[in-house]
């Protein structure tokens, strides 16, 4: 019902499935039927996605958003005709840019996994209301998006410091923390959406959750070594 429902993952999925171009049509800006003005959200998502496409070497012109009313059939036909021609001119996805098929597939998979993180990091800008098209290019810059991916944040629980209080596991929104009583807690990096809640939630007296920027996360402590032996029980 609304272009604002078109999530970044939908666009990435279309490209992952081999689509050569993606077109999003929305109602005219400021003519939204609802109070939500979701077409601004769609616009921001597209501006972000175009920069991500540039980052992975895809031509951003493969993605287009246009706003028009349902009474503008001729305009719609013209835009689609023009976009279709543009996509043909660009050639098959990846091939036109000289990117190896498997390399592109893995890049798209990697980016798709990071979508929740990207949304957390860019949530303010994604809520912008850009009234002037001259502002579109400046909302997200190339350098900003390159930095976003070169300095990806990960969270890691230091097994030496974790006291198995379970607070982080109770707060994690996606159940990404392997948790059990008296067991060192471990973050499942595949499930983690990098929201940082565990980092905030771990009591300062333990300070067991570490933020890692742009570096690989140490491997998880083996299961057989996760039991915490309390000092009182050692005696
Ligand atoms: S960063 Fe967020 S998603 Fe990841 S483990 Fe911590 S609370 Fe869960
Ligand atoms: S909140 Fe901190 S101390 Fe408690 S289980 Fe999580 S990492 Fe361990």
- pLDDT in single tens digits along all 235 residues of the chain: 899 999 999 999 999 999 999 999 999 999 888 888 999 999 999 999 999 999 999 999 999 999 999 899 999 999 999 999 999 999 999 999 999 999 999 999 999 999 999 999 999 999 999 989 999 999 999 999 999 999 999 999 999 999 999 999 999 999 999 999 999 999 999 999 999 999 999 999 999 999 999 999 999 999 999 999 876 655 4
Q: How far does residue 113's CA lie from ligand 1's centre (Å)? A: 14
Q: Reduced to 3 states, what is the DSSP secondary structure of residue 23?
A: strand
Phi and psi dihedrals of 10, rounded to 5? Answer: -65, -40
* DSSP state at residue 3: G
Are 182 and 225 in contact by the 8 Å Cβ rule? The answer is no
For residue 44, give Cα distances in angstroms to 11, 49, 114, 131: 13, 9, 17, 12
- Output the residue whose Cα is nearest ligand 2's atom 2: 202
| Residue (of 69, 13, 65) closest to 43 by Cα position | 65
Nearest alpha carbon, ligand 2 atom 8:
162
Of all protein residues, the one whose alpha carbon is nearest to atom 6 of ligand 2 is: 168
Eight-state DSSP code of residue 140: S
Q: Whose CA is nearest to atom 2 of ligand 1?
A: 195
Radius of gyration of the chain (CA): 22
Query: Which structure tokens are listed for 50?
Result: 């175009």
Beta-carbon count within 10 A of 201 CB: 15
Distance CA 82, CA 87 (A): 9
Using DSSP's 3-state secondary structure scheme, residue 115 falls into helix
Ligand 1 site residues, Cβ closer than 6 angstroms: 155, 172, 174, 176-177, 187, 192-198
Ligand nearest to the CA of 196: 1
What single-letter DSSP state applies at residue 151?
A: T
Q: Could you report how far apart the first and last alpha carbons of the chain are, in Å?
A: 65
């Amino acid at each position: 019902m609304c272009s604002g429902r078109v999530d970044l993952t939908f666009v990435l999925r279309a490209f992952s499935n081999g689509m050569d171009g993606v077109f999003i049509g929305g109602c005219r800006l400021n003519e939204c039927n609802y109070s939500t003005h979701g077409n601004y959200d769609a616009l921001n998502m597209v501006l972000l996605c175009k920069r991500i496409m540039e980052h992975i070497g895809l031509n951003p012109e493969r993605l287009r958003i246009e706003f028009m009313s349902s009474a503008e059939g001729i305009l719609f036909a013209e835009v689609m005709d023009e976009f279709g021609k543009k996509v043909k001119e660009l050639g098959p996805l990846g091939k036109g840019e000289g990117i190896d098929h498997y390399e592109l597939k893995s890049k798209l998979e990697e980016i798709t996994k990071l979508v929740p993180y990207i949304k957390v990091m860019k949530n303010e800008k994604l809520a912008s209301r850009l009234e002037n098209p001259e502002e579109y290019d400046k909302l997200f810059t190339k350098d900003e998006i390159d930095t976003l991916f070169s300095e990806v944040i990960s969270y890691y629980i230091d097994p030496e410091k974790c006291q198995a209080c379970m607070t982080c596991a109770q707060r994690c929104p996606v159940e990404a923390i392997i948790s059990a009583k008296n067991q060192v807690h471990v973050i499942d990096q595949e499930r983690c959406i990098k929201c940082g809640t565990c980092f905030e939630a771990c009591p300062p007296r333990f300070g067991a959750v570490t933020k890692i920027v742009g570096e690989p996360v140490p491997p998880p402590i083996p299961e057989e070594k996760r039991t915490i032996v309390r000092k009182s029980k050692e005696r």
